[in-house]
């Protein structure tokens, strides 16, 4: 008889890294729930993975809407009774001016709300379900652009990053990293592990076609952290199988 699969929820899974993380977890025999805010896109992404022989379902989820978050958690509880993996992947990103001297307060608020506050809210809604897993795993999709070390130290050393001053995106990912640190501390006596993942610049709508990493490679760090065994780290910030500077 087939054993019951592990259940993984990936937010923003209708395209980009979220879809590929879902695919790679599906290939590792997880049942994957593809969180997406637009029904047609979510259903199409789930159907694509099903056509590849994977166990995938669309889960309606706009991470910025409290009712949607509550409904998604209730659906997972009703259908599966627990959650083994949560990948906080969905992101807000625009090409608008984010220079610290000029960013509009509304835009800054939008970044912090989607990339930090909403990620915390989704996690809080899923925590009761993750506590019912034998080995819950939370992966927060972060970025070296949210690293104080990288953004500070490269001021004079890395021309591409020296010119990059995206306050909204950077601050939201730095805040997400602090969530990783403090939640891991709070959960240190449980079996749940919490880590931040840095996929590197990846060929998605956000990363652009010239990014160095393929989507297959970019997804690997999140999949690795989602599948950590008992001896694996918690409260860390990682590129694929390598620690990042905070």
Ligand X SMILES: NC(=O)c1ccc[n+]([C@@H]2O[C@H](COP(=O)([O-])OP(=O)(O)OC[C@H]3O[C@@H](n4cnc5c(N)ncnc54)[C@H](OP(=O)(O)O)[C@@H]3O)[C@@H](O)[C@H]2O)c1
Residue closer to ligand X (CB basis): 12 or 166: 12
Q: Does 172 bind ligand X (CB under 6 A)?
A: no
Residues 78-137 that bind ligand X (CB under 6 A): 89-93, 114
| 4 Cβ contact partners less than 8 Å away, ≥ 6 residues apart | none
First to last CA, the chain: 45
The single residue of 30, 58, 111, 173 carrying the catalytic annotation is: 173
Q: Does 207 bind ligand X (CB under 6 A)?
A: yes
- Binding-site member from 37, 43, 55, 82 for ligand X (CB under 6 A): 37
Q: Does 26 bind ligand X (CB under 6 A)?
A: no
Q: Where are the alpha helices (DSSP H) in the chain?
A: 16-27, 39-51, 66-80, 105-112, 118-131, 148-153, 159-162, 167-186, 215-226
Residue closer to ligand X (CB basis): 188 or 214: 214
The single residue of 80, 111, 169, 240 carrying the catalytic annotation is: 169
- What is the nearest approach in angstroms of ligand X to the Cβ of residue 23? 13
Three-state SS for 96? Answer: coil
- Binding-site member from 5, 27, 28, 41 for ligand X (CB under 6 A): 41
Q: Burial, 226: exposed, middle or buried (Cβ in 10 Å; 0-12, 13-18, 19+)?
A: buried
Cα 28 to chain center, whole Å? 18
- What is the nearest approach in angstroms of ligand X to the Cβ of residue 31? 20
173 is catalytic: yes
Residue closer to ligand X (CB basis): 144 or 234: 144
Write the CA distances from 231 to 78, 191, 192, integer angstroms.
31, 11, 12
Rounded Cα gap, residues 100 and 105, in angstroms? 10
- What is the nearest approach in angstroms of ligand X to the Cβ of residue 137? 16
Backbone torsions φ then ψ of 103, nearest 5 degrees: -55, 135
- What is the nearest approach in angstroms of ligand X to the Cβ of residue 4? 27
Interface contacts to ligand X, rule CB under 6 A? 11-12, 14-18, 37-38, 41, 61-64, 89-93, 114, 141, 143, 199, 201-202, 204-207, 211
Q: Which residues are catalytic?
A: 169, 173
């Amino acid at each position: 008889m087939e054993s019951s699969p592990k259940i993984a929820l990936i937010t923003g899974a209708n395209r980009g890294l979220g879809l590929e993380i879902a695919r790679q977890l599906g290939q590792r025999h997880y049942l994957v729930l593809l969180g997406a805010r637009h029904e047609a896109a979510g259903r199409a992404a789930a159907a694509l993975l099903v056509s590849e022989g994977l166990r995938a379902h669309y889960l309606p989820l706009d991470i910025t809407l409290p009712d949607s978050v509550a409904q998604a958690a209730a659906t997972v509880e009703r259908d599966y009774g627990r959650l083994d993996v949560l990948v906080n992947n969905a992101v807000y990103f625009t090409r608008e001016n984010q220079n610290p001297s000029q960013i509009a307060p509304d835009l800054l608020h939008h970044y912090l709300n989607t990339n930090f506050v909403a990620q915390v809210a989704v996690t809080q809604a899923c925590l009761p379900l993750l506590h019912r897993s034998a080995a819950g795993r939370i992966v927060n999709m972060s970025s070296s652009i949210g690293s104080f070390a990288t953004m500070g130290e490269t001021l004079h050393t890395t021309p591409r990053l020296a010119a990059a001053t995206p306050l909204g995106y950077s601050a939201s990912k730095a805040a997400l990293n602090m969530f990783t640190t403090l939640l891991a501390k709070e959960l240190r006596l449980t079996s749940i592990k919490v880590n931040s993942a840095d996929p590197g610049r990846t060929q998605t709508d956000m990363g652009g076609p010239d990014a160095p990493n393929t989507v297959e490679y970019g997804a690997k760090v999140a999949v690795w952290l989602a599948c950590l065994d008992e001896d694996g780290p918690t409260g860390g910030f990682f590129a694929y199988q390598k620690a990042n500077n905070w």
